[in-house]
A and B are shown apart, each in its own frame.
Chain A
Amino acid sequence: MTLLTTAFAAIICTVIWYKNAPKDEMKIGILTLMYWGATLMWLIDGVFEYAELGAEYFTPAPLDMLNDFYLGLSVVALGLVIWLIVLLIKDPKGAVRAVLFKKTTSDSKN
């Protein structure tokens, strides 16, 4: 479930990135690569688990599945938080700098 959740996040991000390409003002490319990296790593994890469990790998207990889905959603949220931090630090649109260093009307009068 974690693998599936991350894979869907990676696919959705890739579609959004492609839709806005060649512009990447929101740095969606970083988020896309991050999710694809995690998806590939979990794929390997899944292959090793399948080699160990066999067909049982595809029939997890409902509680395990729910826990894995919960983990998957948390992973997606963490990825979004990391992306948001990178976006605000790199500030490609200059919005943060504009807000922080904006002179108020009282400042401009003085």
Chain B
Amino acid sequence: MACLLVPATEAVVTTIVRKVMVSKEQQTDTQSTEATLDHAEHSVTIPFTRKLKWLSNMLWGGSALLAFEHIWHGEITPFFPFLTGVAEGNAAGVLQEMATTGVSMAVLVTLVWTGMVAITNAMEKKEQSAAIAAKQDV
């Protein structure tokens, strides 16, 4: 009924957080004069904002396609209150679905993203140690 509202809300939050982080990163980049230091370490590190974009893309994409499915099944209408469940007086049912299915969707997507980030972090560490070892050999 309205389960997609939970991942869609998370998508909005992650997008805002990412925008703030990107602007802060740009500020520190312009202020910092030590950007050239630890070059080998930086070259194998993926910025967190890029990783956050993966989550954002999954949440926005999933929510958009799920919204289409809800329109297909007549659960979302173009007029107020936009949700058929609420219009039929089943607001409690809508809230219950959001609390169960919606939260589970957001949690699963976030868990998968956490796994992706953990794997990427491990790969980064491996690359960093390989780069340091290569530097020491020279």
The prevalent SS among residues of A at the interface is helix
- For chain A, the count of residues having a C-beta within 8 Å of the partner chain is 25
A24 to chain B, nearest CB (A): 12
Contact residues, A66-82 vs B (CB, 8 A): 71, 74-75, 78-79, 82
In-complex Cβ contact of A35 among B61, B72, B101 (8 A): B61
Count the A-B residue pairs with Cβ separation under 8 angstroms: how many?
A: 79
Known contacts being A6-B65, A44-B108, A79-B65, is A37 close to B72, with CB within 8 Å?
Answer: no
Chain A residues, Cβ within 8 Å of B58: 33-34, 36-37, 40
Residues of chain B in range 54-96 having any CB-CB distance to chain A below 8 Å: 54, 57-66, 68-69, 72
Judged by DSSP, the binding face of B is helix
Do A37 and B69 touch across chains, with their CB atoms under 8 A apart? no
Q: Which residues of B contact A26 (CB under 8 A)?
A: none
- Among B4, B7, B69, max chain A CB count under 10 A is at B69
Specify which of A30, A40, A47, A48 is in contact with B57 (CB 8 Å cutoff).
Answer: A30
**A87 touches B (CB below 8 Å):** no
A window 20-53: CB within 8 A of B: 29-30, 33-45, 47-48
Number of interface residues of B (CB under 8 A): 24
CA separation between A18 and B61, bound complex, in Å?
A: 20
Interface centre among B60, B61, B72, B108 (most CB of A within 10 A): B61
- Which chain A residues border B44 with CB–CB below 8 Å? none
A36 to B60, CA, bound (A): 11
Q: Are A34 and B109 in contact (CB-based, < 8 A)?
A: no
Closest to B111 in A: A40
| A30 CA / B58 CA spacing, docked (Å) | 8
Supposing A74-B72, A82-B64 touch, asked if A37 and B59 sit within 8 A by C-beta, the answer is yes
A residues near B (Cβ < 8 Å) are 2, 6, 29-30, 33-45, 47-48, 71, 74-75, 78-79, 82
- Apart from the given pairs A34-B65, A37-B61, A40-B109, 12 other A-B contacts in the complex at a CB distance below 8 Å: A34-B58, A34-B60, A34-B62, A37-B59, A37-B63, A41-B4, A41-B66, A44-B101, A47-B104, A74-B68, A78-B64, A79-B61
